[in-house]
Amino acid sequence: MKREIQEKVKKLVQELGIVYLATADRKGTPHIAASGGMAFTEEGKILFKAWFCLKTVENLAKNRKLSLAILNPKTEDGYQISGEIERIDKGAILDGYGSDKEDKWAGYPQAEHQLLIRVHKVASLTSGPHSDEFV
């Protein structure tokens, strides 16, 4: 990713505070997660750290390709980043929930994950007509 584009993406992520992460399982069934916690490495790779839902992590273990979307709802402009997981690391880990919450919180993530993403392509993203032209 060009440094100029990286700086624009970084600024937009800081401004909005949320990034959408699209994954798919082996059959191609899509899944979307939304979170903050995205940053860039010196090499231009993306670090994305969050308490991703179980389906997101499961999909990435089986299908390493993903897409990130950052869209400013006021200007209707943003970026789509296509990439691939290089590494998934666990961060903080919970040891279950209190017995009074176990049923309510069953299926929620028990670990924070950090994704190291190799960027393949960056495209402009808008809610209006666009060409999917890579930037």
Question: pLDDT digit string (tens) for 52-106?
Answer: 888 998 999 999 999 999 999 999 999 999 999 999 887 655 555 555 555 554 5
Report the pLDDT value the prediction gives residue 9, as an integer from 0 to 100.
Answer: 94
**Residue 62 identity (one-letter amino acid):** K
Which is the CATH superfamily of the domain at 3-126? Electron Transport, Fmn-binding Protein; Chain A (2.30.110.10)
Q: Quick one: pLDDT band at residue 1, thresholds 50, 70, 90?
A: confident
Nearest Cα neighbor of 127 from 70, 93, 76 is 76
User: Hey, is 15 helix, strand or coil?
Assistant: helix
Report the pLDDT value the prediction gives residue 38, as an integer from 0 to 100.
Answer: 92
Report the pLDDT value the prediction gives residue 60, as an integer from 0 to 100.
Answer: 94
Average pLDDT, the chain: 85
- So where are the chain's domains? 3-126
Q: Quick one: pLDDT band at residue 49, thresholds 50, 70, 90?
A: confident
Nearest Cα neighbor of 126 from 58, 88, 71, 87 is 71
Q: Is the pLDDT of residue 109 over 90?
A: no
